[in-house]
Amino acid sequence: MSTTQAGMTQTGTATSLLRFATAGSVDDGKSTLVGRLLHDSKSVLADQLEAVEHASRRRGQEAPDLALLTDGLRAEREQGITIDVAYRYFATARRRFILADTPGHVQYTRNMVTGASTAELAVVLVDARNGVVEQTRRHAAVAALLRVPHVVLAVNKMDLVGYAEPVFAAIAEEFTAYAASLGVKDVVAVPISALAGDNVVEPSAAMDWYGGPTLLEHLETVPVGTDPSAEPARFPVQYVIRPQSEEFHDYRGYAGQLASGVLRVGDAVTVLPSGHTTTVAAIDALGESTELAWAPQSVTVRLADDIDISRGDLIAAGPLPVPTKDVRATVCHLNERPLHVGAKVLLKHTTRTVRALVKEISYRIDIDSLEQRSGAEGLSVNDIGHVVLRTAEPLALDDYTDNRRTGSFILIDPSDGTTLTAGMAGEAFDTVSTNGAPDAPEEEDWV
Amino acid sequence: MTVTTQRLFRAEDTPFALSHLDALEAESVHIFREVAGEFERPVILFSGGKDSIVMLHLALKAFAPAPVPFALLHVDTGHNFPEVLAYRDRAVAKHNLRLHVAAVQDYIDRGVLRERPDGLRNPLQTVPLLDGIESNKFDAVFGGGRRDEEKARAKERVFSLRDEFGAWDPRRQRPELWSLYNGRHAVGEHVRVFPLSNWTELDVWQYIEREGIELPEIYYAHHREVFKRDGMWLTAGEWGGPKENEPVETRLVRYRTVGDMSCTGAVDSDADTIEAVITEIAASRLTERGATRADDKMSEAAMEDRKREGYF
């Protein structure tokens, strides 16, 4: 196969799609790593590379600085703004990739929560010279909180520690144990040098002691998605399709995207929150009739009985969530305006937006120590905490642990529409140490 | 070193496989339906270019067998390729759509806009676009922009809030998590929506092939009278070319992007079928912009400049 622009086979063979996020600061070499992935997978084209070479020369660097491929934040800093996530695209013969590239340091938690929310894999970067540091633990905690199924520890700058196996092994062991304690089920560690290109795309000649995949090989082969047949069907209704034409006089279809599971014609389903039951009469896959559909397909479902269903309802099968107006959730606060008890907000869950009241902020979670700090008066930007909300109408929420799509929501400021908070129904981690220590005063380590 | 996952799942090996095109299509359809469910008066920006044609195709599929519940808005620079205008009118008639046209020429005739010395009309499009949005009270405006097109666009949201002046305020951009799009806006504001955010140029072409979508013929190789300006092959036409020192020749070319005639260049190509186009793009060493916007080619400061000017 000849190498092509996107590395894709020339016939454009069908490939799967992997969404992943990178976590790490500039100091860890994240920009260089991302640049290396794009460059070595032949996703950087001649005119882009030419621009990087120009810019590098102007800065007095001899070799093209691959970090410049993703560098776009200086002007943002000049203007005092933060654009949270930049998305990058590349492909190999086996897979298409969507990379959520989150900047480090400033607004770190918020940015990584955003990037990780859609990711199926997170690459956590550490500097081999420093090993697992506070920020590394924070990255692991956010990946665990957002239930990112796969985590890769990229131990970078191996060239600066003489490509020494013991250095890598110690870091990998420490990190893997920590991630496992947070409930992360799949951790793979790869020793790399983003600068020299070791084990990013090409296997390293300097580390013959390492027998595992390169970072890209792992990205190409890691399982994508979950098994729809092992999950209960969840189908949030987005829109009711009623052509009201002569040909489709009685057509009434419920349009949506399967959040999880499989739906088959003939399946018994329940409509929530009303609780009405019926069966699936037909499934239209974007204009064509089909017998079954699975997550994350967008389809239109027709039901056997004439039930009053509209946008915001959930068509579900399998173990059902109990609709509730009392929502307990772990949240990450995203906005500069703090979230206080008593705040009246809007809550958007799947396709349903309802009014909600912040009844209680149960505790704040110290993302570094994972301790619960009770007595928090409010949540500030980047804070992670646990809240109790009361909604005006019942919601069919799954636990976020079981379903990232039907277990998540956002809080919105009704006055101007600002997205305030990201919410995940249920408890945060599999293991959380508790203590009753009062909340610490303002911390400065976010800036 | 590895904590093995409890239930290893390889979508590729099960009956529940989704190709990358399936996944992108499902996401885009979800976006169209969210807008239909949450906005009063959405509109699709339709130029007759391949991205807007793919958008329309996705919208048709999203609401089948009902008609698309949106109108189309074409910002007409007056420098159109005739093949593209003909395509637009065929599409409107075939799918029984409503078409709004905001014409730069009208604004020039009324004295609101003045023709630029260089004859370019791309920069003049903003006023008719915003007027068209305001006068029709459109609250959601679908655009065909893709994040792979440019560094600045890599940070654009799927739902992008615009104020009363149509401006993009970076401070008010909302974090977008999961697939929970926030379309809240005040009266007079609108939201730009980009259903193709996560598509690349190659995805678009592969999808066009898979779905058998018809395109304006100028996307495929054909003989054309062109002349060279700023390193680009431009088509002779009423819009102002060629000048005396710009000899016209007939070449085998195709268009990789389609926009205003005065600033969209053709590329030398013998790709006269969709398969040949995909092969050509997959092997190309230049980006879409690099290949067809030769004037844009990196000056010393282009990269820094783009960063400074661009949050759109």
Q: Which domains does chain B have, with CATH numbers?
A: 18-201 (3.40.50.620), 217-309 (no CATH)
d(CA A424, CA A404): 8
Angle (CA) A106-A110-A111 rounded to 5° is: 70
The span from the CA of A172 to the CA of A346, in Å, is 42
Smallest Cα distance from B225 to chain A, Å: 27
Residues of B in Cβ contact (< 8 Å) with A239:
33, 36-37, 63
Residue A169 has φ and ψ, to the nearest 5°, of -60, -40
Whether CATH 3.60.20.10 fits A228-316 = no
* Range of weakest confidence among A97-106, A229-238, B8-17, B247-256: B8-17
List where CATH 3.40.50.300 sits in chain A. 16-221
Query: Considering only alpha carbons, which residue of chain B is nearest residue A96?
Result: B20
Q: What is the pLDDT of residue A127?
A: 95
Q: Residue A138 — φ and ψ, nearest 5°?
A: -65, -40
More confident residue, A438 or B257: B257
Closest CA to A147 of A102, A100, A113: A113
CA-to-CA dists, residue A51 to A311, B150, B296, B304, angstroms: 48, 13, 11, 10
Instruction: Tell if the CB–CB gap between B202 and A91 is shorter than 8 Å.
Output: yes
Q: Could you say which of 3.40.50.10420, 2.40.30.10, 2.60.320.10, 3.40.190.10 is the CATH number of the domain covering A324-438? A: 2.40.30.10
Residue B69 burial (CB < 10 Å; 0-12/13-18/19+)? Answer: middle
Residues in chain B with CB shorter than 8 Å from the CB of A346 are 184
Helix (H, G, I), strand (E, B) or coil at A220: helix
Rounded Cα–Cα distance for residues A136 and A125 (Å): 8
- Greater model confidence, B308 or B249: B249
**What's the gap in Å between the CA of A225 and the closest CA on chain B?**
7
Nearest residue, CB atoms, B7 vs list A95, A227, A334: A227
Distance from the Cα of B121 to chain A's closest Cα (Å) equals 26
* Architecture of the A16-221 domain: 3-Layer(aba) Sandwich (3.40)
- A189 contact residues in B (CB cutoff 8 A): 1-2
For residue A238, the chain B residues in CB contact (below 8 A) are 30, 33-34, 36-37
Give CATH 2.40.30.10 domain extents, chain A.
Answer: 228-316, 324-438
Chain A nearest-CA residue for B163: A416
Phi and psi at A143, nearest 5°, equal: -60, -40
Per-residue pLDDT at A66: 65
Interface contact A187-B2, CB threshold 8 A: yes
- How many residues are there in chain A? 447
DSSP for residue A319: S
Residue B272 to chain A, least CA–CA distance (Å) = 16
- Among B7, B10, B298, beta carbon nearest to A54: B298
Q: Is the CB of B202 less than 8 angstroms away from the CB of A12?
A: yes
Which stretches of A243-381 are assigned E, i.e. beta strand? 253-257, 262-264, 268-272, 276-285, 288-290, 292-294, 298-303, 314-316, 324-333, 339-340, 344-349, 352-365, 371-374, 378-379
Per-residue pLDDT tens, chain A, 447 aa: give them. 333 333 333 344 558 999 999 987 667 788 888 888 888 777 776 677 777 777 777 777 776 666 666 655 455 545 544 556 888 898 888 899 999 988 766 567 888 899 999 999 999 999 999 999 988 998 999 999 999 999 999 999 999 999 999 999 999 999 999 999 998 989 999 999 999 999 999 999 999 999 999 999 999 999 887 789 899 999 999 999 999 888 998 999 999 999 999 999 999 999 999 999 999 999 999 989 999 999 999 999 999 999 999 999 999 999 999 999 999 999 999 999 999 999 999 999 999 999 999 999 999 998 878 888 887 889 999 899 999 999 999 999 999 999 999 999 999 999 999 999 999 999 876 545 554 444 444 433 333
